[in-house]
């Protein structure tokens, strides 16, 4: 059984075709301009003096030597800047009423709480001068004990903040029926209890962050260039935090070289550049360095997960119980506390589980703050349930594909009301599994695996599965309200035709690598019957697109794209009225095809939409009451999340002598609903898989016991490259979402969500006959080697 796979060409129009990205020529030729490329004569360069201690009392800060250095204009401490702030650094997601949030200012006053915490700033004529002078700032620290390990911190052995009652930020619970969970575990034929560690990850966007704030010559306005995913949210938060009227701030995100959630934040450096530009009446800029980014930009993940499954003798899962510890780091950034909550609804995965409970405790440590990182809560949830399902399969002696098949939410159950309180929009999970098993050649791989084992080969084969469902399209505003998030989840769009028939699309979505310009122009091109190249997309500038909620959580297409489609429909409706007037026909008798309105059955009686745009522009002869110009706007607030899903399968070879793991094959079958551009979908899945493989095998933000970050260069923080990855085999099923008129779901995070458990399951699978049941991430060769040495062979070599 196999669901239909979308053809790579559409019956008509460009939607559904693999159109090359319109963005790429500029990006590949170096023509694209990033914040660092913005030329602002007379700008001062800021360097930030950062704490070298994870936790220290700041006894004094002496900037006098720095002030005497060449080119230095100013050097300021936290105390010098304290009056600049109308409020502390913002956190927009107080997940519980009693959530603790330690005071957080852009520059610390008397206590530094992680390596990288800002303690002073220096402004000079060049970046080099500013950095030289920053090294001359003398800070007298008294090192304090640091809360480094997450579980130790949860026990309050060392407090991350002086004077805090405890390290606990909050405890959040989702337990619709605790008694049902208890009963299910009491009655279970089989249970598994697993404990997983989600290591911290450094987002490592290709472009580090950058800010440049330019006070305007009159009007009191500030133009803020920032490498951000969220110019609209940033404008509001800058206004509130720095005490600048919001309408005086214009945020521009030029080309942004990736974010993965790390630029979904309001950072100290953005506030500092604005406050210093206001204070000194000069442009102020800052460009982050790579090693600085490792500690001053948020980290992802950082959890200890405990997951229990209760199943009957046939392997049907009756209950899932989850306890999380989530590492907040030293402070709460914009959505730090909410990240684990985004996963809270998905720990039963793709499975029809009747009983469920979840608790999460957020814990402060003396480390870089965590926040959203590609998938944000959902990769963690998927990892836990998919690793635990493999553990259950081993315990039952059942093939992991068969166990999944038995537990899926059936295709006939959608829309599916989940035990965690969501309504899954549409799905056909078994079809994606079958497609993936077929593409990878599952049975042949199992035979090859058995052959190598019986031959005593030192290169073992492992096959790992991962089925996932995620929630995208953040978000219905009412649902966000119930989760205590302090903003809505809508998106805005305007579509307008210019006198020459060209089209402008204004969107509140903010691309940073996703190919929005291409996708939006394809949607509008088909709606209006114009070539995609005639569609200009305006974005990422609050002066041009004043309203918007930006790009994160795979929301841009299902929410922002829908707003654009709705606006285009409204424009077409108006054009139809004008066409009817010109053609002296009834509007309902007109058909729009290839940009021509024609009277049904009389194709020669027609008028082009471009001609109508000009008529609407001149306004010389419009129907009574019709306003000039063809322009329409829409704001779309989704009625539900969307729920993309799929199955990924990783095949690894494990060298038992060295512990080396080679990912030799990878199959990903994803269902993101209808696809606007399958080429862009492929690209998102490719990058996502690579990023998930990175967590499984390579990356970790490592700290020593004193809280020093050890992985501050790419020689130590191992981001894999193409040479470490096989060619991916991608398949797709298409189950349109009923939640939005485009039938789309979102695909920005799917690969990352699916791939991490698939890869770790594959390594454990390769070694399971030796008694290996778990491997901590990242699964390094040394960890594999030690596990092989420590494991006891399973009698009979069972899988």
Partner 1 sequence: MIPASFEYRRAGSVEDALGWLAEDPDSTKLLAGGHSLLPLMKLRLATPGVLVDVGRVPGLSYVRDAGDHVAIGALTRHRDLEISEVARAFVPLLAHVAGQVGDPQVRHRGTIGGSLAHGDPASDLPAAVLALDATMVADGPRGRREIAASDFFRGFLETALEPDEMLTEIRVRKAPSGWAFQKFNRRAQDWAIVGVAAVLDGDPRVALVNMGSTTVRARGTEEALAAGADAAEAADRASEGLEPSSDLHASAEYRRHLATVLVRRALVEAAAARG
* Unique residue bearing structure tokens 């260069």: 713
* Contact between 605 and 596 (Cβ < 8 Å): no
Q: Which residues, numbered 531-570, are part of the site for partner 1 (CB under 8 A)?
A: none
Residue 464 vs 659, nearer CB to partner 1: 659
Cα dist. 776→14, 150, 697 in Å? 45, 15, 10
Q: How far is the CB of 782 from partner 1 (least distance, A)?
A: 5
Of 318, 514, 606, 711, the one binding partner 1 (CB under 8 A) is 711
Centre a 10 Å sphere on the Cβ of residue 481 and count the other Cβ atoms it contains. 14
Residue span binding partner 1 (CB under 8 A) among the ranges 35-43, 473-481, 715-723, 759-767: 715-723
Residue 174 vs 718, nearer CB to partner 1: 718
Does 716 engage in binding with partner 1 (CB under 8 A)?
yes
Of 1, 39, 313, 721, the one binding partner 1 (CB under 8 A) is 721
Residue 134 vs 753, nearer CB to partner 1: 134
Does 792 engage in binding with partner 1 (CB under 8 A)?
no
Does 706 engage in binding with partner 1 (CB under 8 A)?
no
Q: How far is the CB of 784 from partner 1 (least distance, A)?
A: 11
Does 708 engage in binding with partner 1 (CB under 8 A)?
no
Q: What is the DSSP letter of 7?
A: P
CA distance 715 to 677: 36
* Contact between 434 and 423 (Cβ < 8 Å): no
The tokens describing 577, both together, are 């009225």
Residue 74 vs 694, nearer CB to partner 1: 694
Q: Is the dihedral of CA 232, 235, 241, 247 positive or negative?
A: negative
Does 715 engage in binding with partner 1 (CB under 8 A)?
yes
Residue 15 vs 133, nearer CB to partner 1: 133
Element (H, E) at 744: none
Residue span binding partner 1 (CB under 8 A) among the ranges 309-317, 517-525, 541-549, 709-717: 709-717
Helices (H) and strands (E) in the chain, counts: 21, 28
Of 117, 132, 491, 670, the one binding partner 1 (CB under 8 A) is 132
3-class SS of residue 236: helix
Does 720 engage in binding with partner 1 (CB under 8 A)?
yes
Residue 390 vs 699, nearer CB to partner 1: 699
What number of CA atoms fall less than 13 Å from residue 720's CA on the CB side?
A: 24
Residue 82 vs 710, nearer CB to partner 1: 710
Q: How far is the CB of 678 from partner 1 (least distance, A)?
A: 30
Residue 616 vs 775, nearer CB to partner 1: 775
Q: Which residues of 287-306 are buried (b: 16+ CB within 10 A; e: fewer)?
A: bbeebbbbbbbbbbbbbbbe
Does 785 engage in binding with partner 1 (CB under 8 A)?
yes
The tokens describing 59, both together, are 């006894």
CA distance 550 to 539: 10
Centre a 10 Å sphere on the Cβ of residue 402 and count the other Cβ atoms it contains. 12
Phi, psi (deg, nearest 5) at residue 374? -5, 105
Contact track, partner 1, 284-313, x by CB under 8 A? -----xxx----------------------
Residue span binding partner 1 (CB under 8 A) among the ranges 154-162, 296-304, 554-562, 779-787: 779-787
Residue span binding partner 1 (CB under 8 A) among the ranges 127-135, 523-531, 567-575, 591-599: 127-135
3-class SS of residue 563: helix
Residue span binding partner 1 (CB under 8 A) among the ranges 18-26, 98-106, 329-337, 777-785: 777-785
Of 127, 191, 199, 596, the one binding partner 1 (CB under 8 A) is 127
Residue span binding partner 1 (CB under 8 A) among the ranges 509-517, 519-527, 567-575, 720-728: 720-728
Q: What angle do CA 508, 512, 516 make, to 5 degrees?
A: 60
CA distance 82 to 71: 25
Binding-site size, partner 1 (CB under 8 A): 27
Q: How far is the CB of 376 from partner 1 (least distance, A)?
A: 26
Q: Which residues, numbered 657-676, are part of the site for partner 1 (CB under 8 A)?
A: 657-658, 660
Residue 593 vs 713, nearer CB to partner 1: 713
Q: Name 286's bridge partners.
A: 211
The secondary structure of 300-369, three-state, reads EEEEEEEEEEEECCCCCEEEEEEEEEEEEECCCCCCHHHHHHHHHCCCCCCECCCEEEEEEEEEECCCCC
Residue 521 vs 656, nearer CB to partner 1: 656
CA distance 334 to 779: 31
Residue 580 vs 766, nearer CB to partner 1: 766
Residue 518 vs 787, nearer CB to partner 1: 787
Does 199 engage in binding with partner 1 (CB under 8 A)?
no
Q: How far is the CB of 723 from partner 1 (least distance, A)?
A: 4
Q: How far is the CB of 128 from partner 1 (least distance, A)?
A: 5
CA distance 536 to 534: 6
CA distance 211 to 224: 7
Does 790 engage in binding with partner 1 (CB under 8 A)?
no
Contact track, partner 1, 65-84, x by CB under 8 A? --------------------
CA distance 715 to 698: 12
Interface ranges with partner 1 (CB under 8 A): 127-128, 131-132, 289-291, 657-658, 660, 698, 702, 710-711, 713, 715-716, 718, 720-721, 723-724, 780-782, 785-786
């Amino acid at each position: 059984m196999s669901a239909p796979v979308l053809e790579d060409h559409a019956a008509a129009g460009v939607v559904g075709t693999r159109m090359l990205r319109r963005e790429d020529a500029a990006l590949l030729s170096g023509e694209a301009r990033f914040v660092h490329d913005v030329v602002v004569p007379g700008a001062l360069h800021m360097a930030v003096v950062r704490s070298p201690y994870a936790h220290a009392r700041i006894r004094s800060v002496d900037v006098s030597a720095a002030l005497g250095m060449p080119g230095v204009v100013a050097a300021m401490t936290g105390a010098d800047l304290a009056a600049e702030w109308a409020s502390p650094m913002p956190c927009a997601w107080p997940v519980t009423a009693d959530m603790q949030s330690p005071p957080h200012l852009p520059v610390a006053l008397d206590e530094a709480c992680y390596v990288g915490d800002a303690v002073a700033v220096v402004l000079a004529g060049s970046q080099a001068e500013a950095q030289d002078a920053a090294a001359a700032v003398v800070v007298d620290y008294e090192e304090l004990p640091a809360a480094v390990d997450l579980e130790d911190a949860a026990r309050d052995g060392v407090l991350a903040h002086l004077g805090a009652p405890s390290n606990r930020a909050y405890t959040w619970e989702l337990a619709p029926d605790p008694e049902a969970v208890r009963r299910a575990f009491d009655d279970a034929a089989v249970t598994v209890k697993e404990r997983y560690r989600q290591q911290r990850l450094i987002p490592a966007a290709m472009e580090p962050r950058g800010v440049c704030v330019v006070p305007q010559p009159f009007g009191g306005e500030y133009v803020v260039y920032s490498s951000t995913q969220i110019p609209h949210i940033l404008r509001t938060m800058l206004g509130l935090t720095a005490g600048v009227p919001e309408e005086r701030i214009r945020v521009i995100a030029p080309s942004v070289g990736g974010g993965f959630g790390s630029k979904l934040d309001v950072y100290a450096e953005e506030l500092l550049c604005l406050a210093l530009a206001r204070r000194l009446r000069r442009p102020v800029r800052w460009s982050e360095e790579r090693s600085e980014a490792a500690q001053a930009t948020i980290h992802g993940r950082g959890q200890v997960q405990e997951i229990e499954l209760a199943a009957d003798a046939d392997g049907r899962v009756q209950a899932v119980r989850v306890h999380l510890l989530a590492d907040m780091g030293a402070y709460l950034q914009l959505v730090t506390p909410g990240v684990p909550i985004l996963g809270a609804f998905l720990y039963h995965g793709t499975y029809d589980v009747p009983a469920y409970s979840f608790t999460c405790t957020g814990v402060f440590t003396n480390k870089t703050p965590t926040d959203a990182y590609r998938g944000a809560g959902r990769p963690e949830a998927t990892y836990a349930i998919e690793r635990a399902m493999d553990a259950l399969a081993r315990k039952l002696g059942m093939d992991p594909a068969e166990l999944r098949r038995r537990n899926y939410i059936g295709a006939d159950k959608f829309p599916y009301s989940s035990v965690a309180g969501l309504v899954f929009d549409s799905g056909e999970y078994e079809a994606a599994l079958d497609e993936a098993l077929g593409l990878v050649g599952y049975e042949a791989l199992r035979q090859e695996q058995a052959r190598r084992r019986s031959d005593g080969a030192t290169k073992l084969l492992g096959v790992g599965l991962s089925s996932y469902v995620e929630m995208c399209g953040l978000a219905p505003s009412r649902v966000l309200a119930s989760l205590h998030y302090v903003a809505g989840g809508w998106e805005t769009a305007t579509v307008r035709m210019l006198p020459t028939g060209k089209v402008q699309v204004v969107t509140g979505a903010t691309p940073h690598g996703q190919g929005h310009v291409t996708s939006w122009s394809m949607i509008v091109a088909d709606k209006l019957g114009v070539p995609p190249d005639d569609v200009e997309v305006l974005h990422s500038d609050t002066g041009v697109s004043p309203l918007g909620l930006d790009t994160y959580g795979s929301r841009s297409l299902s929410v922002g794209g829908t707003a654009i489609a709705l606006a285009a429909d409204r424009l077409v409706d108006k054009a139809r009225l004008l066409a009817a007037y010109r053609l002296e026909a009834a509007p309902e008798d007109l058909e729009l095809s290839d940009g021509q309105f024609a009277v049904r059955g009389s194709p020669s009686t027609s008028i082009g939409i471009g001609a109508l745009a000009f008529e609407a522009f001149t306004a010389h002869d419009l129907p009574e009451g019709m306003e000039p110009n063809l322009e329409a706007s829409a704001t779309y607030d989704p009625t539900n999340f969307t729920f993309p899903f799929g199955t990924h399968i990783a095949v690894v070879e494990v060298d038992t002598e060295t512990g080396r793991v080679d990912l030799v094959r990878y199959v990903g079958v994803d269902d993101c609903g209808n696809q606007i551009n399958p080429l862009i979908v492929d690209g998102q899945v490719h990058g996502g898989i690579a990023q998930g493989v990175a967590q499984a095998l390579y990356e970790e933000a490592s700290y020593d016991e004193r809280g020093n970050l050890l992985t501050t260069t790419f020689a130590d923080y191992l981001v894999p490259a193409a040479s470490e990855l096989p060619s991916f085999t991608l398949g797709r099923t298409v189950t349109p979402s009923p939640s939005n008129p485009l039938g789309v779901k979102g695909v920005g995070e799917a690969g990352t969500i699916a791939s991490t458990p698939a890869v770790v399951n594959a390594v454990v699978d390769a070694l399971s006959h030796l008694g290996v049941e778990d491997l901590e991430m990242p699964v390094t060769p040394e960890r594999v080697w030690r596990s092989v040495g420590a494991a006891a062979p399973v009698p009979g070599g069972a899988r």
